[in-house]
């Protein structure tokens, strides 16, 4: 059984035509068609069937594709591991991370790691918590940086740091002259939130419930920068992670207030699949992230 035929089967199963898959494999379309038929003979079942003008997986093909995906993924990771063992200062780190960490933590970690290992490349994916877990489980990414332990039986999670959450209010807000507030004091105010499925949204709703109310949603966004901009425009208040750029500027005239009646903070951690052997570059990045964030935590004390 030829690996290239398996890759072509995978490509056709995921939507390419036989002609397109043949071009990717640099073979003729008739040659690939014959190879796919031989694959079906080896497996002992019809894997693809024509529906109209496209080929679709049969029930047997769907079962077989799961194993093909796993086999090709394992083979590719094995080749990477060998290459990194031969050339330890190179390799690839496949990392998925929260949108809210893309403005400070992830760039800081990547920059520090590349200073030590300049030959290492990165594949980066940005998403909310649910999307991050999918990236990890389907093998798109080998590592993820997220808020809170996903508590998944297949995932190992290590805390990197505790990130404070501040109440963001416009500079002309009635509470803007204060440094510390109770979250309950804004129970009647409109909230600017991330959409459902984002961890910060869940944390905000949980903290509001703890403070005795449910947030009145004025707007749902997908980026913390959007939340900050709408708070600055006076459209509501929001809970914002405390990153190095959370300071009032002419573009973002906001005051950030410490919460006193609830624990305004979230855990940030790094995770990977428990049973997967990580390539050397990914293992080194985990160690780097743990050391680098320990320094950040020390600096905040």
The verdict on 200 and 260 lying in the same domain is yes
- The mean pLDDT value for 31-47 works out to 92
Domain's final residue, options 83, 114, 139? 83
Tell me what percent of the residues of the chain surpass a pLDDT of 90: 59
Count of all residues that appear for the chain in the document: 301
The reported pLDDT for the residue numbered 224 is 86
Does pLDDT of 171 surpass 60?
A: yes
- The mean pLDDT value for 222-245 works out to 86
Is 172 in a helix, a strand, or coil?
A: coil
The verdict on 153 and 282 lying in the same domain is yes
The larger pLDDT score, comparing residue 279 to residue 273, is at 273
Is 50 in a helix, a strand, or coil?
A: strand
Q: Between the ranges 51-55, 78-82, 93-97, 130-134, where is the mean pLDDT highest? A: 93-97
Chain centroid offset of residue 170 CA: 30
Reported as a pLDDT band with limits 50, 70 and 90, residue 38 is: very high
The reported pLDDT for the residue numbered 198 is 82
Does pLDDT of 129 surpass 80?
A: no
Share the mean pLDDT of the chain. Answer: 88
- The mean pLDDT value for 276-282 works out to 86
The verdict on 243 and 274 lying in the same domain is no
Neighbouring CB atoms inside 10 A of 79's CB total 11
Does pLDDT of 135 surpass 70?
A: yes
Reported as a pLDDT band with limits 50, 70 and 90, residue 86 is: low
The torsion defined by the Cα of 53, 55, 58 and 64, in degrees rounded to 10, comes to: 180
The verdict on 155 and 296 lying in the same domain is yes
Does pLDDT of 248 surpass 90?
A: no
* Residues 201, 96: Cα–Cα separation, whole Å: 19
The verdict on 172 and 259 lying in the same domain is yes
DSSP bridge partners of 120: 91
Reported as a pLDDT band with limits 50, 70 and 90, residue 199 is: confident
The enclosing domain of 40 has a CATH number of 1.10.10.10
* Residues 5, 58: Cα–Cα separation, whole Å: 18
* Residues 17, 23: Cα–Cα separation, whole Å: 10
Q: Angle, nearest 10°, between helix axes 280-300 and 59-86?
A: 70
The verdict on 273 and 241 lying in the same domain is no
The enclosing domain of 206 has a CATH number of 3.40.190.10
Structural domains in the chain (count) = 3
Q: How far is CA 76 from CA 3, 79, 91, in A?
A: 11, 5, 13
The verdict on 67 and 143 lying in the same domain is no
DSSP bridge partners of 123: 94
The verdict on 157 and 171 lying in the same domain is no
- The mean pLDDT value for 238-264 works out to 79
The verdict on 152 and 204 lying in the same domain is no
The verdict on 171 and 146 lying in the same domain is no
β strands within 182-249, DSSP E: 190-194, 216-221, 238-241
Least confident of 60-74, 81-95, 113-127, 149-163: 81-95
Neighbouring CB atoms inside 10 A of 216's CB total 13
- Pair 290, 160: CB distance under 8 Å: yes
The reported pLDDT for the residue numbered 301 is 46
Q: Which residue has the tokens 């990477």?
A: 80
Chain centroid offset of residue 40 CA: 37
Bridge-based pairing state of the strands 265-273 and 190-194: unpaired
The verdict on 44 and 116 lying in the same domain is no
Q: How far is CA 44 from CA 37, 60, 235, in A?
A: 10, 10, 63
Q: How far is CA 271 from CA 95, 102, 154, 160, 202, in A?
A: 10, 17, 10, 10, 19
Domain that holds residue 188: 162-266
Least confident of 34-48, 80-94, 133-147, 270-284: 80-94
Least confident of 123-127, 171-175, 260-264: 123-127
Domain's final residue, options 83, 110, 133? 83
The verdict on 109 and 25 lying in the same domain is no
* Residues 72, 82: Cα–Cα separation, whole Å: 15
């Amino acid at each position: 059984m030829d690996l290239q035929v398996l890759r072509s089967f995978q490509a056709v199963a995921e939507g390419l035509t036989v002609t397109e898959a043949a071009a990717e494999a640099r073979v003729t379309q008739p040659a690939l068609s014959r190879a796919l038929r031989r694959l079906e003979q080896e497996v002992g079942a019809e894997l693809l069937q024509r529906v109209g003008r496209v080929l679709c997986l049969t029930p047997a093909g769907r079962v077989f594709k799961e194993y093909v995906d796993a086999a090709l993924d394992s083979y590719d990771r094995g080749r990477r591991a060998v290459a990194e063992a031969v050339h330890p200062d190179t390799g690839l780190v496949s990392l998925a991370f929260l949108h809210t960490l893309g403005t400070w933590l992830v760039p800081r970690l990547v920059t520090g790691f590349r200073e030590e290992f300049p030959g290492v490349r990165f594949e980066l994916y940005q998403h909310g918590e649910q999307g991050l877990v999918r990236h990890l489980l389907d093998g798109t990414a080998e590592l993820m940086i997220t808020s809170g332990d996903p508590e998944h039986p297949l995932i190992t999670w290590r805390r990197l740091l505790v990130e404070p959450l501040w109440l963001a209010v416009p500079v002309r807000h009635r509470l803007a002259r204060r440094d510390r507030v109770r979250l309950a004091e804004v129970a009647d105010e409109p909230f600017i939130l991330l959409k459902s499925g984002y961890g910060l949204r869940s944390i905000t709703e949980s903290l509001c419930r703890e403070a005795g109310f449910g947030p009145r949603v004025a707007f749902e966004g997908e980026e913390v920068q959007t939340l900050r901009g709408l708070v600055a425009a006076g459209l509501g208040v929001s809970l914002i992670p405390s990153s190095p750029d959370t300071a009032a500027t002419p573009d973002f005239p906001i005051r950030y207030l410490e919460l006193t009646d609830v624990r305004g903070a979230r855990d940030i951690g790094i995770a990977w699949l428990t049973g997967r052997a990580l390539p050397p570059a990914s293992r080194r990045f985990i160690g780097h992230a743990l050391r680098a964030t320990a320094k950040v935590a020390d600096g905040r004390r």
